Amino acid sequence: DGGITQSPKYLFRKEGQNVTLSCEQNLNHDAMYWYRQDPGQGLRLIYYSQIVNDFQKGDIAEGYSVSREKKESFPLTVTSAQKNPTAFYLCASSNGRDEAFFGQGTRLTVV
Amino acid sequence: KQEVTQIPAALSVPEGENLVLNCSFTDSAIYNLQWFRQDPGKGLTSLLLIQSSQREQTSGRLNASLDKSSGRSTLYIAASQPGDSATYLCALRDYGQNFVFGPGTRLSVLP
């Protein structure tokens, strides 16, 4: 089955800890995206990548980092510099300007 | 800067009713518009994609229209069912390949 897989589904982070969220797609899409969703708010773009080994900051990139070493993978690291990381994180991919597909999300909680 | 609004913010209807969800945007220079469905705690599921040159798209009980000149899109759901209960989001794709999301309409279909 083609699609986007995010893992883990739930993640807990201690204060001062870096954590990495995984996003893998087997749709052969060039573009991949990371969004953050907070209760009662719309989706906000963190980072996006339109091609391997290249990525761009979105609207709320501070405290986050990404890499795009393979076409299929676009991991997101939430660093200790992100002061309010508790949120629902969504990964998406698309081929150019065609239809976009989303993963099932990772819920990150600070403990 | 593109701004997207969705009205109403929440809607509750009895089963069997036909209903319309609205999406408005401020800049008509869009590449396409996509409607998504989101169930609680889940990712986004693509429903319909309308290219900027198209006026409408249909899938089963769903019909989406696009009027760029007036900055509006509507999602029509026929013969609503309790399983249609979810949050519905519209997203515009600009010519830079990025998305701008609306805040969503939370739909409840009562049995």
What's the sign of the alpha-carbon dihedral A70, A99, B68, A34?
negative
Q: Which of B32, B34, B101 sits opposite A42 (nearest CB)?
A: B101
Q: How far apart are CA B8 and CA A76, in angstroms?
A: 33
Query: B70-111: per-residue pLDDT in tens?
Result: 999 999 999 999 999 999 999 999 877 688 999 999 999 999
Q: How far apart are CA A92 and CA B78, in angstroms?
A: 28
- The nearest CA of chain B is from the CA of A104 a distance in Å of 4
The reported pLDDT for the residue numbered B4 is 94
Query: B33-67: per-residue pLDDT in tens?
Result: 999 999 999 999 999 999 999 999 999 999 999 99
The DSSP letter of residue A98 is S
CB contact under 8 A, B99 and A45: yes
The answer to whether the beta carbons of residues B91 and B39 sit under 8 Å apart is no
Query: A10-22: per-residue pLDDT in tens?
Result: 999 888 899 999 9
Query: A43-74: per-residue pLDDT in tens?
Result: 999 999 999 999 999 999 999 999 999 999 99
The answer to whether the beta carbons of residues A49 and A68 sit under 8 Å apart is yes
Question: What is the count of residue pairs from A and B with beta carbons less than 8 Å apart?
Answer: 50
Count of C-beta atoms within a 10 Å radius of residue A42: 16
Q: How far apart are CA B2 and CA B89, in angstroms?
A: 16
| Interface check B98 vs A, CB under 8 A | yes
